[in-house]
Structure 1
Amino acid sequence: MNKEMTPFEIRQHIRSGEFTGNTSGYGQGFVQGNLAIMPKEWANDFLQFCQKNPKPCPIVGMSSQPGEFMLPDLGQEIDIRSDVPKYRIYEHGILTREVADLTPFWRDDLVTFVLGCSFSFEEALIADGLEVRNITEGVNVPMYRTNIECKSAGRFSGTTVVSMRPMKAADAIRAVQICTRFPSVHGAPLHLGDPSQIGINDINTPDFGDAVTIKEGELPVFWACGVTPQVAIEQAKPEFCITHSPGHMLITDLPNSRLAVL
């Protein structure tokens, strides 16, 4: 699929089932979003969880009422049931299936949250001349569970998931400067260097996504990741919940420039 397509055109290919891959590198210039969808009786606790943990869970949009599946504030004709390449369905905190269309599973009590995604700041890094290894190698970004505790809210708690991009030290410093301008898409990195300090035992075996090459003289650079809610959902065990599959995002019509802090 042509990466130069508009977000609307990309969503049409996703909706039709023609595109089911990860969305890194697509919809350049536009905000991509992680997804968390849950029954309304869980939504207020989750909203508070996001507010207490803005680095891994920055909210860029949500449905205006339970059962609403069109999200006009985020883009033309967005139907959250079909416009993400792959979804995960959890029952009582257990991942039970991955699907490409939520329509058969949709309920009138569901509330949708769209959270900022690191794919948005990757574009800013590349524009500044920095390499983003997962894009260079054409794979999903590696993501890891850590020992960094989130702040609890109601029934939600858990540890932070991070995404990793290897860089030389000078590039990592520049990446911090660039990403600080994008707090709505995870902001500056949480950690640079030794993975074991944040509870990662094997950098070559990510918990989500794909491993990438780390070259001699490079540091692993870790950002808070929007897969964090999936860990919180596993802990809270709502009877029914939906997320995106890691790396398979909602591509919105919101320009990335709207999220930058100048």
Structure 2
Amino acid sequence: MKDMTPYGIRQQIRSGEFSENTSGLAQGFVQGNLAIMPKEWANDFLQFCQLNPKPCPIIGMSSQPGDFMLPDLGQDVDIRTDIPKYRIYEHGVLTKEVTDVTEYWQDDLVTFLLGCSFSFEEALIADGLEVRNITEGVNVPMYRTNIDCKPAGRFSGTTVVSMRPMKPADAIRAIQICTRFPSVHGAPLHFGDPSQIGIADINAPDFGDAVTINEGEVPVFWACGVTPQVAIEQAKPPMCITHSPGHMLITDLPNSRLSVL
């Protein structure tokens, strides 16, 4: 899978042959978090993303309600089938995880694609920094925090973060690198003591998998595109579709397009 093109991976996902997390796949190409909701709720969500660009950087949208093909993001991208695993929320409650949302599709649905930290992982590795979740072959650990998002209309909530352990000097270098990528969460929000941002147990992530933190390393936390799922839980729209954490849309867009330098 690691040697396949984004289009090839999407075809594997669409056929049901691949349904795992996408960290480390399609190096050089943008991956995206997903949020789909009825048109009536879309303007509030758009404003929520605009007010909270660190956790919710928009990199793509459907052109019209009901559109499920996203040609601006890649060849033959069908948002109903091309993500390895989806979550279905009903009135803010997670009710199902599925690998295809065709049967749930409605003509009033609006799709948002948000930048994903998997895109900047490549830049960290290229600079010689280890990304522990890739080294250990697991999904990145993600945590709910006490960092409030700015509310917009019916949407509010706290920020979800992803974590990668690093030595302090490497954490400083990661800040410098990721500042160049504001469209995929930018620089970390915090590093060091997890309790300062409301995380009680670093070894028990709310989403994803725990990773090893070695002696002399500190946890480094980035804003995460799972944040909208917390906002959806609180806003309670009648129906929403998101990606399952770590299971992204792999686009044909090169990561180089996201760098500001």
TM-score by length of structure 2 reads: 1.00
1:35 equivalent in alignment to 2:34: yes
How far did residue 183 of structure 1 move? 0.1
Equivalence for 2:180? 181
How far did residue 117 of structure 1 move? 0.1
Structure 2 portions without partners, runs of 5+? none
Q: State the identity as a percent.
A: 86
3-state SS of the aligned residue for 1:51? helix
Give the Cα–Cα distance (whole angstroms) in 1 for the partners of residues 32 and 52 of structure 2.
16
Give the Cα–Cα distance (whole angstroms) in 2 for the partners of residues 255 and 6 of structure 1.
12
3-state SS of the aligned residue for 1:73? helix
CA deviation map 1:14-63 (0-9, x unaligned): 00000000000001000000000000000000000000000000000000
Give the Cα–Cα distance (whole angstroms) in 2 for the partners of residues 113 and 215 of structure 1.
37
Equivalence for 2:4? 5
3-state SS of the aligned residue for 2:72? coil
Q: How many pairs are equivalent? A: 261
How far did residue 222 of structure 1 move? 0.0
Matches of residues 22-171 of structure 1 in structure 2 within 5 Å? 22-171=21-170
Give the Cα–Cα distance (whole angstroms) in 2 for the partners of residues 109 and 50 of structure 1.
20
3-state SS of the aligned residue for 2:245? coil
Give the Cα–Cα distance (whole angstroms) in 1 for the partners of residues 241 and 101 of structure 2.
9
Q: CA RMSD in A?
A: 0.3
How far did residue 4 of structure 1 move? 1.0
Give the Cα–Cα distance (whole angstroms) in 2 for the partners of residues 19 and 114 of structure 1.
21
Give the Cα–Cα distance (whole angstroms) in 2 for the partners of residues 94 and 153 of structure 1.
20
One-letter code aligned to 2:243: H
Structure 1 portions without partners, runs of 5+? none
One-letter code aligned to 1:37: I
TM-score by length of structure 1 reads: 0.99
1:197 equivalent in alignment to 2:196: yes
One-letter code aligned to 2:186: G
Give the Cα–Cα distance (whole angstroms) in 2 for the partners of residues 52 and 72 of structure 1.
27
Equivalence for 1:227? 226
How far did residue 240 of structure 1 move? 0.4
One-letter code aligned to 1:67: G
CA deviation map 1:143-184 (0-9, x unaligned): 000000000000000000000000001100000000000000
One-letter code aligned to 2:119: S
One-letter code aligned to 1:189: P
CA deviation map 1:109-159 (0-9, x unaligned): 000000000000000000000000000000000000000000000000000
Give the Cα–Cα distance (whole angstroms) in 2 for the partners of residues 212 and 114 of structure 1.
27
3-state SS of the aligned residue for 2:133? helix
One-letter code aligned to 1:143: M
